[in-house]
Amino acid sequence: MIEYRIEEDSVGMRLDKYLRKRLANMPTSHLFKMIRVKKVRVNGKRAQPEQLLVAGDVIAIRGDEQQLLGPAQGGERLPPPPPPVDPSELVILLEDDWMMAVDKPSGMAVHTGSGITGGTLVDYVRAYLGPKAVRNDFTASPAHRLDRETSGVILVAKRRPAMVHFTEVFTEGLARKRYITLVKGKMPKDSGVIELPLSEHQQTAESKARRGVNMQEALTRWKVIRQSSEAALLSCSIETGRTHQIRRHLAAVGHPVAGDRKYGDFAFNRDVRARWGLKRLFLHAERIEFPHPQHGGKVTVEARLPPELKDTLKRAALEPS
């Protein structure tokens, strides 16, 4: 028999997910069968795959330990090692035992994915933390997203309860995020709201064929910081977290973000690159306010505008006063 006692960092995890991590070499179908035939018990009682674990729970698994755990490698193909990165390059804005806030540079992907080469934010964070990146059965991970070409502050959970907390914070809209962006043209007024539904970015072709395009509510607030006849420097906040929301919203109202190669004005981008030296997307996550995962008190973290964006504003005569 094997027994596991649930520590704080595993609180809120589903039993089946916890067991898949602990018994990584066991086929999932066999694991569920063991639960079904009562070979897995929690606190001496019959277990359910979907039940959420709490601190102090004791999971007992009947069977031979060596057979349950399997060989060290399980005969499975190991994932490739992460690319070598220099953790000293990571700009840390805030760190404690529960979380980190990092200033992500433009061009760095948050996670690995198709077409992603080079070190990701995940690689840098885990290289920086070293052995401390893994706590019990949880590995330090970003708590939300930033587009690859967007720079600025991003939060990282170092413990499972912190990730559970941040998931709730972002789902319930309890975090306040402010972005700085440069857009094409003269804004019609000093501030405004864009409330325009956006199509679900990750919807599959099968889903679209079955039920049509899924539209999601989206709201972006903007305010002019500096304005010229050619471009405007804006402060933006979002009340929904749709993929590429700020970029898609501003493009939809005729004021695309400078340097945006996906939704932007290509002629404007070429002109801005030639005259103002802008070689990247001008979108920066400048500030975030959120309740701390340990004590719930309000925390504010800011990331300064990168030098290359400051240079662009100087050449465009749009530097904030």
Segment 25-43 shows an average pLDDT of 84
Per-residue pLDDT tens digits for 146-172: 999 999 999 999 998 999 999 999 988
Active-site residue, from 9, 57, 147, 260: 147
pLDDT band at 75 (very low <50, low <70, confident <90, very high): very low
The pLDDT score that the predictor gives to residue 13 is 84
Torsion over CA of 66, 70, 73 and 79, rounded to 10 degrees?
-140
Residue 243 CA to chain centroid, in angstroms?
Answer: 11
* 123 counts as catalytic: no
Cα 70 to Cα 64: distance, rounded to the nearest angstrom:
10
Q: What global pTM score does this model have?
A: 0.76
Q: How far apart are CA 61 and CA 67, in angstroms?
A: 12
Confidence of residue 115 (pLDDT cuts 50, 70, 90): low
**CA 129, chain centre distance (Å):** 18
Instruction: Tell me the range of 13-22, 25-34, 168-177 where mean pLDDT is highest.
Output: 168-177
